[in-house]
Chain A
Amino acid sequence: MKKVTERLKRHAEHGKRWVIAVPTLWLMLFFALPFLIVLKIAFAESAIAIPPYTQLLTMADEAFDLHVYFGNFIFLSEDALYLTAYLNSLKMAAISTFLCLLIGYPMAYHIARAKPSTQTVLLLLILLPSWTSFLIRIYAWIGILKSNGILNNALMWLGVVDQPLTILNTNVAVYIGIVYAYLPFMILPLYANLVKHDHSLIEASQDLGARWLQSFWRITFPLSRNGIIAGSMLVFIPVVGEYVIPELLGGTNSLVIGKVLWQEFFNNRDWPLASSLALIMLLLLMLPIHFFRKYQEKEWEEGK
């Protein structure tokens, strides 16, 4: 019997290594390697060649030549367009995150309060749209928002407006698209947090004289802080680099970093500049990620 358990234990140790190996390999292959390539290109010079940039390390005259070019970063800092694009992206991400929180919190709250059988159905409804391609869903919004689209037709038929509203190709359309697309990323962590709340705390609060709203602000909301932070990160971080939604729903003048990056890469074929843009975006996003991790660690420590 002892032998069997020992053998099982050894297998378990072995298995643990395997379990860790798979994601490690995955991350090395699909994150670390591409990142290193981007890093390399960011410090190269643009060139008319294939690939269209200079090599970092060349072999000439029996010597290694290391050619590290900082020009891309200097160029980025000199042209105000890029700074504006970064700030626009951060603003867009911040507003979208706030809107997602505003809409997502009540939804998550009510799902968490529903009967367990209803909860499953509601969660399924949240996830169901993502079974369709993201791109197709964003295209569908064009059909809804355009001047003779579903929304305007409905509003005119109801007599709310007599002229079709211009929504498509404005920032409003971009926000609608982003909030629509990223809402599940806000709702799910919030739900996961809220569903664990002990209802007796709310009863205790009421018992001590607090009405529903007071109980919510003083008990439920502070206790859901982790869910709020997790959901906000999951929305904020990808929205900063969002390209598809501003491109399809926004106007031509909507200046966000995702679009600028695309233009530099595909239209100008300036791979080094695009890479350095991406690198700076990554550095910008590491700040909130870092704070989030610090916070999580603290929570973990307190939890123990």
Chain B
Amino acid sequence: MIEPSLSRDGVDGHFLQIKSIVKTYDDVVAVNDVSLDIAKGDIFALLGASGSGKSTLLRMLAGFETPNSGKIILDGEDIVSLAPYRRPINMMFQSYALFPHMTVEQNIAYGLKQDRMPKAMIADKVVQMLRLVHMEKYAKRKPEQLSGGQRQRVALARSLAKSPKLLLLDEPMGALDKKLRNRMQLEVVDIIESVGVTCVMVTHDQEEAMTMANRIAIMEEGSIVQSGTPRDIYEAPNSLQAAEFIGSMNLFRGAIAVDAEDHAVIDSEEINNQLYVSYGVTTAIEDKHVVFAVRPEKTLISRDQPQGEYNWCRGVVHDIAYLGGHSVYHIRLDNGKILYSFMVNSDRFADQPTWEELVYVYWSDDSGLVLRP
């Protein structure tokens, strides 16, 4: 229902193709038959919990791990057999891995020296890189004399100095505190976009992935659960796994009762009304079990009973988490199930439902999603 957006430069090319990559350690499958197409100029996030195989996949792109099978094609060239020092790929490491015995300048020049670039050109490039990350003043400092954010900028400058075809970011904000993280996320994206380099990043933080990347792939147990734009993944998760991974969801287990071309009705024991969606659902004839999912911000709370017979339920306010911009209401239904509902605090002193008040939660017909269990 949502059009997949084109990559930023409008070319839907296949700049980086990952084809059926498998990586096992002894008997453990770390990456299980993963294929991805990444367009030129994309900032692509691999999102997953620890142990999902996202870091292994990134390390295979860098060349530190060799896949058991599969191909990695970058700009038309299969790079699987290339040693890390031969790949036109640079990585920003999780803890930055800045060389502690070298100054900021020397760190940035390191890769250029390996290419035997003339000294004057190296010096020019270093200055250019320092300017790019706004670190001109710190050229002579050692890494230990820098703050976390400054170290990150140096690490970014070092990984961009060789103008790689592909930039890898391993948990780019992992070493920063929350406040700095939000600032650096946008700053790093600005720098990457100004250079125009294609970028693959690994993160376990969905907010970070959605802020920084224009495409996301969710990984779980070595496989890609879903890939697409942040909006695709949030609004149209293709599975229960994807839905539960990003954001929060209210889920109702049930079975299809009416399966029409333009709508469906679902019976669920977890709610006192039937559930209705205003679009057709393809279901298997023999298995009518589905999960109905609706995001908390798409539900509304009212003191009056809503009209109609679908998509509402009654409960009491069990808890309110006031978060400033919005509040998260925890509504306890008669059967004990807890629903989450966001309420935007647009009025400073609005008369909102309070603890233990009887309320109704409802949502529109096109807000819900029907997923396979």
CB <8 Å contact, A203 and B99: no
Report the Cα distance A208→B100, complex, angstroms: 16
Binds B, one of A148-156, A160-168, A209-217: A209-217
In whole angstroms, what is the CA distance A204 to B115 when docked? 15
B114 interface hit (Cβ, 8 Å):
yes
Contacts of A219 in B (CB 8 A): 99
What are 15 A-B contacts with C-beta separation under 8 Å? Answer: A198-B97, A201-B100, A203-B62, A203-B84, A204-B93, A205-B99, A206-B85, A207-B62, A207-B63, A208-B85, A208-B158, A209-B111, A210-B110, A218-B110, A222-B101
Interface size on A, residues (CB 8 A): 18
Roughly how many angstroms separate A222 CA and B111 CA in the complex, as a whole number?
Answer: 17
In the complex, the answer to whether A209 meets B85 with C-beta atoms within 8 Å is: yes
Judged by a CB distance under 8 angstroms, whether B95 is at the interface is yes
B residues near A209, Cβ cutoff 8 Å: 85, 111, 114-115, 162
The yes or no answer to B91 lying at the interface (CB within 8 A) is yes
With contacts A200-B93, A214-B114 known, is A207 near B85, CB below 8 A?
yes
What 1/0 mask marks residues of chain B from 115 to 129 whose CB sits below 8 Å from any chain A CB? Answer: 100000000000000
Task: Say if the beta carbon of A47 comes within 8 Å of chain B.
Answer: no
Q: A203-B64, A203-B84 are in contact. Are A208 and B114 (CB under 8 A)?
A: yes
- Bin the interface of chain B by size: 20 to 34
B residues lining the A interface (CB < 8 Å)? 62-64, 83-85, 89-91, 93-95, 97-101, 110-111, 114-115, 142, 144, 158-159, 162
Are A201 and B99 within 8 A (Cβ)?
yes
Question: Cβ of A57 < 8 Å from any Cβ of B?
Answer: no
A95 within 8 A of B: no
Residues of A within 8 A of B100 (CB): 201, 223
The 6 closest A-B pairs by CB, nearest first: A208-B111, A209-B114, A204-B97, A200-B97, A206-B84, A209-B85
Determine the main DSSP class of A at the interface with B: helix
Are A208 and B162 in touch, CB under 8 angstroms?
Answer: yes
Q: Which residues of A contact B101 (CB under 8 A)?
A: 222-223
Inter-subunit contact B110/A205 (CB<8 Å) = yes
Residues of A within 8 A of B (CB): 198, 200-201, 203-211, 214, 218-219, 222-223, 302
Q: How far is the CB of A262 from chain B (nearest CB, A)?
A: 44
Considering the chains assembled together, what is the distance between the CA atoms of A298 and B278 in angstroms?
73
B99 lies within 8 A of A207 (CB): no
Which residues of chain B come closer than 8 Å to A302, judged between CB atoms? Answer: 142, 144
User: When chains A and B are docked, how far (Å) is the Cα of A203 from the Cα of B59?
Assistant: 10
Residue of A nearest to B108 (CB): A208
CA distance A211 to B90 in the complex (A): 15
Given the complex, which residues of A lie within 8 Å of B63, measured CB to CB? 206-207
Whether B99 contacts A210 by the Cβ 8 Å rule is no
CB < 8 Å: which of B89, B93, B114, B142 contacts A203? Answer: B93
Contacts of B95 in A (CB 8 A): 198, 200
Residues of A within 8 A of B84 (CB): 203, 206-207
Q: How far is the CA of A291 from the CA of B101 in the complex (A)?
A: 20
A299 to chain B, nearest CB (A): 11
Q: A258 CB to closest chain B CB, in angstroms?
A: 38
Q: Which residue of B lies closest to A210 (CB)?
A: B114
Chain B residues near A207 (CB, 8 Å)? 62-63, 84-85, 89-91, 159
Given contacts A203-B64, A203-B84, contact A208 B97 (CB under 8 A): no
